[in-house]
Amino acid sequence: MKILHKHGRPQQEKNSCCFYTYYKWLLWLSLSLYFFTSYLITNNNNNNNSRNTRILSQSESTNITITPIITNSKDQQQSNSLLKNMKVFVYDLPPKFNTVWLQNKRCKTHLFASEVAIHRALLSSEVRTFDPYDADFFFVPVYVSCNFSAVNGFPAIGHARSLIASAVKLISEEYIFWNRSRGSDHVFVASHDFGSCFHTLEDVAMEDGVPEIMKNSIVLQTFGVVHKHPCQEVENVVIPPYVSPESVRSTMKNAPMNRRRDIWVFFRGKMEVHPKNVSGRFYSKKVRTVIWQKFNGDRRFYLRRHRFSGYQSEIARSVFCLCPLGWAPWSPRLVESVALGCVPVVIADAIRLPFASAVKWADISVTVAEKDVGNLAEILEHVAATNLSEIQRNLWDPMTRQALLFNNQVIEGDATWQVLRALSEKLNRSYRSSRVSRQLEFDT
C-alpha cells in the first residue's frame, strides 16, 4: 500500500505505458493469430496429404504423378549437378532406324517402348549437347521392337542385329567418336525379353549372345538376373519396362477416390500355357500352374487368364499383385503394381530389379521364392498380419513411383533421369571426362 502510494505517479505512468503495451500486445496477438491460423490451414493440408497417402488416396496420387518435380532453373541446375554435369550427344539417324516405326501407334506405348521413350526424353533434356566433342556419352537411337507380327501381335526382332549393325556402320564412318573409344561410351537400348541377346527364346538368345559390335558399349535393358548370363555380358543398366504414365493417370482418375482395396490377391495373365522349354528354366511354367491349380477357387485370390484392357483398374483395387516370371523374369506388372499402389509379389528367383539405388525394392514388395509358391496364401496372410501397412506406406512414396515411369520430358527422379544417373556413375568410360581429369592432373 505504502509503496503504491509512494510511487503513485510512476504507477500512473506505468499504467499508461501498460495500456500502450496492451495495444501492442493485442496487435501482436492478432497478427500472430493470423499467421498461426494460416499456418494451420496450410499445415492441415499437408497433414491431409500424409493422411491420405497412408490410406492410399487416389486423388492425391494423381496429383503426385502429374506434378513435375523440376519447376525452375535452379532445381534444374541442382539436378544437373546430381548428374555431374554429364553431357549426352544423340545421333540424328535416318528415319528408317527410328521414327519410321512410329507409324504404328503401338510402337511408343507397348511394354518395350522404353527405346522410344528414352530417346524422346533425351532430345529435350538439359544433358543433351549438340556438340559431340563436348559429350560424355553417345546415344544411338535404333527402335528394334516395333515390327509387330501380324499373326500374334508380338514384335518380330529378327532384324534387330542387322539394323543395329548398319546404324553402327553409319556412325562409325560419318563420325570419329565410335572408333575413338571402340564404342565404349556409346549407349543402346534393348528393351525386349532377353535384352541385348535380341531373341525371344532364352536358349537361342543365350546361344547367340550379345552382338560382337555392341560388346564394348553400354546397354540399357529390361533383362537382368543376379547370376552370370550371356545376355548381360556387356556393361548394362537394368531399366523398367514401359508403362504409359498417361494410362496410369487415367486409371487413377477413373478409380473411385479413397476406395478400399477389395481384391486381396490379383493376377491376370497366361496361367499354364508356356511355350518355352529351356533347360533349367521350367519354373516359369510351374509357378503359374501351381498358382492356378492351388488358388483358383480360393476367394481371397482374383485370378483371370484372359486379356482385359481394363486390367489396370483391377490393380488399383488390389492389395497384393502377383508378378511371377513369364517369358523372361521381368514383367510390366511390376511397374503397374508400384504405380497403382498394389504391393508387388515378386516370384522370380534370380531377377535383378531396376534402379536398386532409387527404389528400395525390399521395402515396397514381397518376395516369394519360386519353390514356395504353394504357400503363397500363408506367406501373404503373415505379411498382412505383420508389416503390410508399413510396406504400403513405403510403396506410396511418390519418388518410388516416379522412378519407374518414363515421361515425355525428363523429370528429376523419373525413369529416364534414373538412367542418366546410372550413366553418370560410369563417367570413367567417358573420353571427354578422362581427358579433363588427365588435364587436371597435369595442371596440379
Ligand X SMILES: *[C@@H]1O[C@H](CO)[C@@H](O)[C@H](O)[C@H]1NC(C)=O
Applying CB under 6 A, the residues found at the interface with ligand X are 59, 62-63, 147, 156, 158-159, 172-173, 176, 179, 277, 362-363, 382-383, 386-387, 390-391, 428-429
For 292, residues 6+ apart whose C-beta sits below 8 A from its C-beta are 271, 272, 303, 305
List, edge to edge, every strand of the sheet that includes 88-90. Answer: 88-90, 137-139, 186-190, 218-221, 235-238
Q: Output the CA–CA distances (angstroms, integers) from residue 411 to 80, 86, 311, 435, in the order listed.
A: 11, 16, 27, 30
Cβ 249 to ligand X shortest distance, Å = 9
Cβ 31 to ligand X shortest distance, Å = 27
Q: Name the residue nearer to ligand X (CB basis): 65 or 318.
A: 65
Cβ 425 to ligand X shortest distance, Å = 7
Closest among 340, 324, 318 to 373, alpha carbons compared: 324
Q: Where are the alpha helices (DSSP H) in 69-113?
A: 73-82
Cβ 437 to ligand X shortest distance, Å = 11
Q: Name the residue nearer to ligand X (CB basis): 40 or 176.
A: 176
Q: Name the residue nearer to ligand X (CB basis): 138 or 268.
A: 138
Cβ 427 to ligand X shortest distance, Å = 8
Tell me the three cell numbers of residue 373: 509358391
Q: Name the residue nearer to ligand X (CB basis): 4 or 150.
A: 150
Do 65 and 245 form a contact (C-beta atoms < 8 A)?
Answer: yes
Tell me the three cell numbers of residue 387: 508389416
Cβ 266 to ligand X shortest distance, Å = 19
Whole-angstrom Cα distance, residue 165 to residue 284?
33
Q: Name the residue nearer to ligand X (CB basis): 13 or 174.
A: 174
Q: Name the residue nearer to ligand X (CB basis): 172 or 289.
A: 172
Q: Name the residue nearer to ligand X (CB basis): 76 or 394.
A: 394
Give residue 336's identity as a one-letter amino acid code. Answer: E
Whole-angstrom Cα distance, residue 251 to residue 314?
10
Cβ 395 to ligand X shortest distance, Å = 9
Helix/strand/coil percent split, the chain, to 5: 50, 10, 40
Q: Name the residue nearer to ligand X (CB basis): 12 or 357.
A: 357
Cβ 14 to ligand X shortest distance, Å = 52
Cβ 441 to ligand X shortest distance, Å = 15
Q: Name the residue nearer to ligand X (CB basis): 121 or 338.
A: 338
Whole-angstrom Cα distance, residue 292 to residue 270?
10
Cβ 25 to ligand X shortest distance, Å = 37
Q: Name the residue nearer to ligand X (CB basis): 51 or 159.
A: 159
Whole-angstrom Cα distance, residue 248 to residue 240?
15
Whole-angstrom Cα distance, residue 89 to residue 133?
9
Cβ 63 to ligand X shortest distance, Å = 4
Q: Name the residue nearer to ligand X (CB basis): 87 or 429.
A: 429
Do 380 and 344 form a contact (C-beta atoms < 8 A)?
Answer: no
Whole-angstrom Cα distance, residue 255 to residue 262?
12
Residue 331 sits at φ, ψ, to 5 deg, of -160, 145
Half-sphere exposure of 157 (CA within 13 A, CB side): 24
Do 168 and 178 form a contact (C-beta atoms < 8 A)?
Answer: yes
Tell me the three cell numbers of residue 267: 493376377
Helix (H, G, I), strand (E, B) or coil at 317: coil
Give, in degrees to the nearest 5, the angle at Cα 338 between 399 and 425.
50
Cβ 434 to ligand X shortest distance, Å = 8
Closest among 424, 380, 321 to 88, alpha carbons compared: 424
Q: Name the residue nearer to ligand X (CB basis): 145 or 418.
A: 145
Which residues does residue 138 pair with via DSSP β-bridges, in sequence order?
89, 186
